[in-house]
Chain A
Amino acid sequence: MTTTAVLEVGRPARPRAAERGTGSRTATLLLLLPAVIAALALFVYPLGRIVVVSLTEPTVGLGNYVDLFTDGYTLRVLIRTLWVALAVAVLDLLMAFPFAYAMTVCRPRTRAVLFTIVLIPFWTSALAKNFGWMILFQRGGLVDRFLQATLGIDHPLLGTTPAVLIAMSQVLLPFAVLPLYARLDQIDRRLLDAAQGLGASRTRAFRQVYLPLSTPGLVAAGTLTFISRSASTSPPPCWAHRSRP
């Protein structure tokens, strides 16, 4: 009896809080349920099946994986994919940063125009974009003629790595610009004045204050472009078909 009493005194109001906690936790779980079921059925299960199949067919063992890394082809493709994805991410960040920055400082009307320009690729079908680039890059295409006329390069871009980089960067630019803009728009521009007022040159103020504050946006934009590019399959063959083995 005494023990019970002590325990009761020692935990005031706690059971009620716990009950409330359980209630909201159940609600949370219920809310998550559809997404969890969808992920399990459509993602985890198929992926698991692939792993199982890869280890069991045609015979049980690691044979499939040995082939994968020793056929001299898959590994090369994998590395090139990652390399291209990385290059595209870097290119996109380099192009997106000034663009997103301009969007934060311009007038609202100009900003609306810039937004539209960024979003146009979203409204264009992938097919149209792919063919568009093919036409531009091919022998006798606009880009080809321009390169011949200005730099005297007598080699169509179509089928080369630069063509892949250019076309991919264009397609993915919105994925870099939008998260970056969201971040840059949050940065208080008075901080740049503050840095300069305290003795930093314009470049230093940018490097020491603006750039560190924009890092989360750069990371988000970079990750988004890198991931979607390393998983992309359909467009590259169109632009790079010549170099396919």
Chain B
Amino acid sequence: MSTPAGNLEIRDLVKRYGTDAAAVAGIGLTVDSGEFLTLLGPSGSGKTTTLNMIAGFVHPTAGSIHLNGVDLTELQPHKRGFGMVFQNYALFPHMSVFDNVAYPLRQRKTGKPDVRRLVLDILERFGLSGMEHRRPAQLSGGQQQRVALARALVFSPSVLLLDEPLGALDRKLRQSLQAELKKLHQEVGLTFVFVTHDQDEAMFLSDRIAVFNEGRIDRVGRPAQLYDDPGTLFVANFLGEANTFAGRRVDAETYAWNGEKWRTADDRHPPEGVLVVRPERVRVFGTDEVPPGWNSVAPSSPTCPAWARRPGST
């Protein structure tokens, strides 16, 4: 796995099926070398279509895809050289674990001794030694997942594409595999493009997250940045829990909502901006701490304001 990590660039990508609304309505995105980027969004938001266009399974209506500056848009999937892990793994059921993992190497006409060495090495690395003769159906979900990863990485691709690879697993296994995946990314240093609809997974794994909404990217940013400063109401609601108050800013310190005046130190947003309060940031104050004429209001952190209702009021 000595291949340098690739950097991907997506320009104005559009996918339209027939006359329907565009599945992907013009997105631009760069993925840096070695970065773990997650495409996050609800189902039907265009994230999987985008990944399929990167992989080459879906031809874009417009726009282009570049790997290390080379235009891939018209290239057949098998010539793009991405590693790919599919939802439900897509292991070949009629082949042994060994043959599954050897598959991409044999397509590349790797010599027999090298195939053997590389496959056995990577199986050992993924804790699958001794399973090379089994069929995929004889493995547990977690083992199948690891075979799929081994198969996607064995030929040292420069970018790994992952389409909801943990979606089929139960919660516990999912969590342990998330940790494995994160560790793997740090070890191999490859560029990962990961698709999920699970915000916790995205927050935990990603260097950056691109939040998809109705065929567009709402925002791209580091997980903490998107959480603290969501920018759009959609991102605020999709990433984590949010209490939203659609009032308006009166001045730099005051926000009015539902006939009440609340104090906030956060003055970054426009007057019509919706106020978002993360539940864990709420702090309750005693009535004596509140200045006269105010509701019990206080920012609990400089970037994220929070208020508590006066006891008894609704």
Contacts and interface: CB of A to CB of B under 8 A. Distances in A.
To the question of whether A and B form a pair in one complex, the answer is: yes
A245 interface: no
Chain A interface residue bracket vs B: 10 to 19
A195 B95 CA distance: 12
Interface in B188-217: none
Interface string A206-235: 000100110000000000000000000000
A2 B108 CA distance: 71
Given A191-B92, A212-B94, A213-B94, A196 B78 contact: yes
Interface of A: 188, 190-191, 193-202, 204-205, 209, 212-213
Interface stretch (B1-9, B80-88, B266-274, B291-299): B80-88
Interface of B: 55-57, 76-78, 81-82, 84, 86-88, 90-94, 103-104, 107-108, 151-152, 155, 161
19 contacts: A188-B88, A188-B90, A190-B88, A191-B92, A191-B93, A195-B92, A196-B57, A196-B76, A196-B78, A197-B56, A197-B57, A197-B77, A197-B78, A197-B82, A198-B151, A199-B78, A199-B103, A199-B104, A201-B76
Contacts of A209: 92, 94
Nearest to B93: A213
Contacts of A200: 78, 103, 107
Given A190-B86, A193-B86, A199 B93 contact: no
Contacts, number: 65
> 5 tightest CB-CB pairs across the interface, nearest first?
A199-B107, A194-B90, A198-B104, A197-B84, A196-B77
Given A199-B107, A200-B107, A193 B93 contact: no
Contacts of A205: 78
Contacts of A198: 78, 84, 103-104, 107, 151-152, 155
Q: Chain B at the A interface: mostly helix, strand, loop or mixed? A: loop
Instruction: Find the residue from B56, B57, B91 having the highest chain A CB count within 10 A.
Output: B57
A201 B77 CA distance: 8
Contacts of A190: 86-88, 90
A75 to B, nearest CB: 40
Contacts of A191: 90, 92-93
Contacts of B152: 198
Contacts of A188: 88, 90
A156 to B, nearest CB: 47
B84 A199 contact: no
A195 B161 CA distance: 14
Contacts of A213: 93-94
B108 A194 contact: no
Given A193-B55, A196-B76, A212-B94, 19 more contacts: A191-B92, A191-B93, A194-B84, A194-B86, A194-B90, A194-B92, A196-B57, A197-B55, A197-B56, A197-B57, A197-B77, A197-B86, A199-B108, A200-B78, A200-B103, A202-B78, A204-B78, A213-B93, A213-B94
Nearest to B103: A198
A200 B151 CA distance: 13
B86 A199 contact: no
